[in-house]
Amino acid sequence: MSGGNGTTGTGGRALFGPRFGRNLRAIGGVLLSLGLTLLGLLLITFIIGRIMPIDPVLKVVGDRATQAQYDAAYQAMGLDRPLWEQFLRYITDVVQGNFGRSISTGHPVAEDLKRVFPATVELATLGTLIGVLVGVPLGVIAAARRGGWIDQIARVVALVGYSVPIFWLGLMGLLLFYGILGWVGGPGRQGIIYDGMVPTVTGMILIDSLLAGDWGAFRDAFSHIILPASLLGYFSLAYISRMTRSFMLEQLSAEYIITARVKGMTERRVIWRHAFRNIMVPLITVIALSFASLLEGSVLTEIVFSWPGLGQYITKALLAGDMNAVLGGTVVIGTCFILLNLLSDILYRVLDPRSG
């Protein structure tokens, strides 16, 4: 009667064998690490909010408030409580999606983040796609033709990408492609004609305009996003191409590649079917980190192009001393970093047979 119920015999060993235990422990370890990292992120943002030389009560009641009004607001905000109690309350609020009310806009920070974050995601996603579609083939070909002219171009691209200030390239791009040539749309996400014309579904205008079937709005939105996205994509491809080249050079010097060439395999098959397949796992981590970097590093690009995204929102809030908005945006960006790292770790375990 063994193996009939799936918990004993061969079926039970397959279901609850050593591999199942290893996977269960790995999942538990990942979840524990995720929880501790999120807790650390919340602790850091809580401490920042307490040590900043900005009085949150004055930002609420104003400079002309009486002492009684100040004290009432101080107690209402829970600042008279012990720090550990304030931290527990802060965690509870964040878990419920409550980041407080923005002083700058007068709206709940969660509503503001819901409004501005899709614009940043749309910009960073298109920039990452450009970086991957150009950077990966460039890095592979540069490694395969090491020392050749393509390799030299890849090195120059990476060097310029790391050294030239992004705001300068943005200004020069606007001057040339918008001001002189008129090839792209100007600052902002859309022209005045199409502003507010597309129903908001995802918050990403390119997708929403396609869902609405409004091709005019799609072309207008694309003309506005292509220049800032290409700018971010350039910096992304500089990093991705350099890392791809490094990974490929390591693989192309391995013994199995030499063996494949001795057996008479074509160079294309050696490069793409063997060497490239073996770098896909670490390359996923590079792409995920590049995407996360564009999410939090698009501040200057959003300012130059008047892009109403999260980076511009946090910058304006910081200048206005609006700490609820600053900390809320910081938590969102930090959570994105953590989740993208988790996703890359899961894909690593799925794609790399040695990790099982």
Structure tokens at 195: 């502003």
Look up the domain containing 41 and give its range.
Answer: 9-95
For residue 4, being part of any structural domain is answered with: no
Q: What is the mean pLDDT of the chain?
A: 83
Q: What percent of the chain has pLDDT over 90?
A: 24
Which domain-ending residue is among 61, 95, 129? 95
| Predicted local distance difference test score (pLDDT) of residue 29 | 73
User: Residue 37 to residues 109, 167, 213, 247: CA-CA distances in angstroms?
Assistant: 23, 32, 42, 29
For residue 254, being part of any structural domain is answered with: yes
Do 62 and 165 sit in the same domain of this protein? no
Do 284 and 336 sit in the same domain of this protein? yes
Span 185-205, mean pLDDT?
87
For residue 137, being part of any structural domain is answered with: yes
Query: Does residue 26 register a pLDDT over 80?
Result: no
The per-residue pLDDT for range 105-142, each reduced to its tens digit, is 888 999 999 999 999 999 999 999 999 999 999 999 99
Query: Does residue 7 register a pLDDT over 50?
Result: no
Do 44 and 115 sit in the same domain of this protein? no
Do 89 and 115 sit in the same domain of this protein? no
For residue 290, being part of any structural domain is answered with: yes
Q: Which residue has the higher pLDDT, 352 or 165?
A: 165
Are 153 and 242 spatial neighbours (Cβ–Cβ below 8 Å)?
Answer: no
Query: Does residue 243 register a pLDDT over 80?
Result: yes
Structure tokens at 129: 């796609």
User: Residue 81 to residues 77, 84, 88, 96, 264: CA-CA distances in angstroms?
Assistant: 9, 8, 11, 20, 75
Query: How wide is the angle at C-alpha 50 spanned by C-alphas 102 and 84, nearest 5°?
Result: 110
For residue 1, being part of any structural domain is answered with: no
Do 344 and 277 sit in the same domain of this protein? yes
Instruction: State the total domains in the chain.
Output: 2
Q: What residues contact 290, with CB distance under 8 A and at least 6 apart?
A: 128, 131, 236, 239, 240
User: Residue 62 to residues 1, 48, 102, 323: CA-CA distances in angstroms?
Assistant: 78, 22, 14, 15
Q: Which residue has the higher pLDDT, 81 or 155?
A: 155
Whichever domain contains 324, its CATH number is 1.10.3720.10
| Predicted local distance difference test score (pLDDT) of residue 9 | 47
Query: How wide is the angle at C-alpha 62 spanned by C-alphas 61 and 68, nearest 5°?
Result: 50
Do 181 and 324 sit in the same domain of this protein? yes
Q: Which residue has the higher pLDDT, 26 or 4?
A: 26
Distance CA 113, CA 91 (A): 18
For residue 126, being part of any structural domain is answered with: yes
Which domain-ending residue is among 34, 66, 95? 95
The per-residue pLDDT for range 270-319, each reduced to its tens digit, is 888 888 888 888 898 899 888 988 887 778 888 889 999 998 898 888 88
Q: Which residue has the higher pLDDT, 54 or 3?
A: 54
Flag the least confident range among 90-94, 153-157, 346-350: 346-350
Are 212 and 126 spatial neighbours (Cβ–Cβ below 8 Å)?
Answer: no
Three-state SS for 284-349 is HHHHHHHHHHHHHHCHHHHHHCCCCCHHHHHHHHHHCCCHHHHHHHHHHHHHHHHHHHHHHHHHHH
Do 87 and 129 sit in the same domain of this protein? no
Query: Does residue 45 register a pLDDT over 50?
Result: yes
Query: In the structure, what pLDDT confidence band is assigned to residue 209 with cuts at 50, 70 and 90?
Result: very high
| Predicted local distance difference test score (pLDDT) of residue 122 | 94
Span 40-45, mean pLDDT?
85
Span 28-41, mean pLDDT?
79
Query: In the structure, what pLDDT confidence band is assigned to residue 19 with cuts at 50, 70 and 90?
Result: low
Query: In the structure, what pLDDT confidence band is assigned to residue 147 with cuts at 50, 70 and 90?
Result: confident
Do 233 and 312 sit in the same domain of this protein? yes
- 3-state SS class at 129: helix
Query: Does residue 21 register a pLDDT over 70?
Result: no
Flag the least confident range among 5-14, 62-71, 107-116: 5-14
Do 86 and 142 sit in the same domain of this protein? no
| Predicted local distance difference test score (pLDDT) of residue 127 | 93
Span 75-89, mean pLDDT?
79
Do 85 and 221 sit in the same domain of this protein? no
Do 171 and 314 sit in the same domain of this protein? yes
Flag the least confident range among 77-91, 162-176, 317-331: 77-91
Which domain-ending residue is among 69, 95, 121? 95
Do 223 and 309 sit in the same domain of this protein? yes
For residue 100, being part of any structural domain is answered with: no
For residue 199, being part of any structural domain is answered with: yes
